[in-house]
Structure 1
Amino acid sequence: MGDFLKGRNLVCEVDVKDIAFINAIFEWYHEIATVRTRDRKKGLIELWIAPDFYDEAMKAVDWLVNGGFVKKFKIIEEVGDDWWRE
C-alpha cells in the first residue's frame, strides 16, 4: 500500500447559531470538507478538509464570511488529521 494523502483539520470558532448552516453548506460540497462540532456551547467546530481541496475550502469560508451568511468564522488552529485517536 502506498502513502495516503493527508487532509488538513482546522479548529474554528463560529457563532453557535451558524453551526447548522455551515454544516449544511459543506455537506452540499461533500468532497471538499466535512464539519464536526467539537463544542456546541462554545461554537467550536472542526473542518476536515480533503487532500487537494484546501484552497476550495478557504474560498467557501470566505464566501460565508464576506457574503454576510455567518457572523463569525475564526480559524483557531490546525490540528492535523489524527481525529481517530481522540
Structure 2
Amino acid sequence: MLKKGVNLICKVSVKDIAFINAIFEWYHEVGTVRTRDNKNGIIEIWLSPDFVDDGMKAIEYLKSGGFVEELEVVGEAGDNWHRE
C-alpha cells in the first residue's frame, strides 16, 4: 500500500513563521513549510509520507509551546505530495 503524506494548514503568530520554517528546513526530510498569508500567520506544511508521525509530533510540540494556534488537516497527498 502506498504511504501518503499529509497537507496541513496552520495559524501561527506572524513573528514565529521564520522559526517554524527553520525547524522544518533543518529536518527537511520530515516536511516543507510554505507561507500562505504572512499578514495573518497562515502557513501550509507538507509532511513527507515516511515522516507523517514525526511531523505530527513536531506540530503537537509546537502547539504545546504556543507556536501553533490552530491546526486543520486539509487532506492527504499521494506519492507526488511535494508537487501539489
Q: Shared fold by TM > 0.5?
A: yes
Q: Which has the larger radius of gyration?
A: 1
Deviation string 1:12-33 (CA, Å, 9 cap, x unpaired) is 1111111000000111110001
Give the equivalent residue in structure 1 for 2:71: 75
Q: State whether structure 2 residue 26 is matched by structure 1 residue 57.
A: no
Question: Which stretches in structure 1 are left out of the alignment for 5+ residues?
Answer: none
Q: Structure 1 or 2: larger helix share?
A: 2
Q: State whether structure 2 residue 44 is matched by structure 1 residue 17.
A: no
Q: Structure 1 or 2: larger strand share?
A: 2
TM-score by length of 2: 0.78
Task: Write out the 4+ residue segments of structure 1 that deviate beyond 3 Å after TM superposition.
Answer: 79-85
Pairing of 1:33-48 with structure 2 (within 5 A): 33-48=31-46
Question: Which stretches in structure 2 are left out of the alignment for 5+ residues?
Answer: none
- Paired-residue identity, %: 52
